[in-house]
Amino acid sequence: MGEPAAAETVIVIDDDYTMRFSCGKILTKMGLQAEVFEDGARGLDGVATAKPAMVIVDLKMPGISGMEVISRVHEIDPQIIIVVITGYATIDTAVEAVRRGAYDFLPKPFSPDELRLIVNRGLERRRLAMESQHHEIEQTMLKRRFVTFVSHQLRTPLVAIHQYLDVLKHLDQEDDVPRFRRREWLDRCLTRIDELQNLITDWLTLAQVEGGTLSKERIKVDLNTVISPILKAYEQTASAKNVSLQAQLSEDCLFVWGDRNCLNVLFDNLITNAIKYNKSGGTVTVSGSQSRGEVVIAIADTGVGIPEKYRPFLFAEFFRVKDDSAKKTVGTGLGLHISKKIVSEMGGTIDVESEVGVGSTFWVRLPAWHEPEAAREG
C-alpha cells in the first residue's frame, strides 16, 4: 500500500436532476470519482463499465426499479456497497432493500453531512471486507504451499531409500557393489529414515504447540532441572563430535513460570543445534542468570556461524541455511520455528548473535517466576 490508492468510484442513480447533481458535487469534494445516471438501465451500464466501489440509488424511479437495481448490481459484483435513497413514507421499502442486500439507506431529505457519513462508513466496510477476503486467500495459499512442501519433504528421503534398495536388489546376484559400499548405503538408508522420523516428530510438536496442547500447564520450573539433564543426555553425542559441553548456570534463581514439556523441547532444540553446527574441538556453553525480572539463558557455540543475510529468516518455518557447510547436516528446518513459538507463548523472546566462522549465541529471555503475593504466608 505504498502509493496512494486511485480514487474510488461512486455511482449515483436518481431521476431527480437536483438530487443527483448535488450528490455528485458532494462526492467529488470528498475526493471520490462520482458518476451520475438518470435511470436504472443507464446506471447499470455505468456500473458494468466503471466497476464502482459504491452505488447510491433512488428506490422510486420510472423504468427499472431501485429494488431491481440492487440485485442486478450484485450480479455484476457482490462486493459493491449499495445505499438506497427513499422518501419518508417508504421506510418499509428501505428495510426490504436492506434485506435484499443494500448496505444502508438515506431517508429524504438528507443533509450533505448525512451523505458523507454514510458514504464513508460504506466505503470503510468495503475495504474491511476486501482485506479480510485477501487475508483468507493468503491463508489458503499458505496452507496449500505448506502441504506441497511437506509432502515433498516427506517423499525425498523415501525416494532415496527406495532407490538404494532397488539398486541393491538388482545387483544382488553379481555382488558388483563392493562390500564397504553396500554397508555405506545401508547406513545412508538408516540416516534418511531418521530424517523422516525427525520430520514427523517436529511436525507433530509444531502442531501441538500451535494447537496449544503441548503447553497447557503454567507451573514454577527451575531451568537447572531442565537444562542439566539435556546436557547430560547429549554428552556422548557431543564427545563423538569432539565437542565439549559446559554449563554456567546460577543456582536457585532460574525459576520461570512455564510448561516443563515445552521448556524441554525448547532447550533440547537449541542445545542439539549448538552441537550439530559446531566444529571439532569446539565448545557449547549454556549460561543462565536472572536480571530485572527476566531469566536469561544463553546457548553459545563455536561453530560455523550464520551469515547475516540468513538471520532474518532463521526462525521461519522450514527455513534452512543453504550454505554447503550447513547442507551436510541433517535437519528439518522446524526446530527454531518451534523454539520461537514456545518462547513467545511463554511471553519471552529469543534472539541470535552470530559471526561466521566464530560461532552463534542464542539468547532466550523468559519472565521470571515470582512468589504470588496472596500465597505468601506468615
Partner 1 sequence: MQDEKRILMVDDDHDFVEAVSCFLELNGFRVFRAYNGADGIRLAKMERPDLILMDIMMNERTEGFFTIHEIRRDPALKNVPIFVLSSFCTRLPDFEIPASGGWLTHDMFFAKPVDTAQLLEKIRQRVGVTA
The three cell numbers locating residue 8? 474510488
**Which residue stretch of 161-169, 215-223, 231-239, 267-275 sits at the interface with partner 1 (rule: CB under 8 A)?**
161-169
**Least distance to partner 1, CB of residue 327, Å:** 9
User: Of the two residues 64 and 168, which places its CB atom closer to partner 1 in the complex?
Assistant: 168
Contacts (CB under 8 A) with partner 1, residues 297-326: 322
The contacts of residue 20 (CB under 8 Å, 6+ apart) are: 12, 13, 14, 36, 37, 38
**Least distance to partner 1, CB of residue 160, Å:** 4
The helix (run of H) or strand (run of E) holding residue 197 is helix 179-211
The dihedral through the CA atoms of 266, 271, 274, 277 has a sign that is negative
Helices (H) and strands (E) in the chain, counts: 11, 12
166 binds partner 1 (CB under 8 A): yes
Could you say which of 163, 201, 246, 250 contacts partner 1 (CB under 8 A)? 163
Could you say which of 25, 127, 134, 170 contacts partner 1 (CB under 8 A)? 170
3-state DSSP call for residue 146? helix
**Least distance to partner 1, CB of residue 137, Å:** 20
Q: How far, in Å, CA of 81 to CA of 125, rounded? A: 8
**Least distance to partner 1, CB of residue 19, Å:** 57
Q: How far, in Å, CA of 218 to CA of 347, rounded? A: 12
**Least distance to partner 1, CB of residue 174, Å:** 8
Q: What share of the chain is helix, strand, coil (3-state, %, to 5)?
A: 50, 20, 30
199 binds partner 1 (CB under 8 A): no
**Which residue stretch of 58-66, 185-193, 304-312, 358-366 sits at the interface with partner 1 (rule: CB under 8 A)?**
185-193
Could you say which of 185, 203, 257, 363 contacts partner 1 (CB under 8 A)? 185
**Interface with partner 1 by CB under 8 A: which residues?**
152, 155-156, 158-164, 166-167, 170-171, 176-177, 181, 185, 188, 192, 322
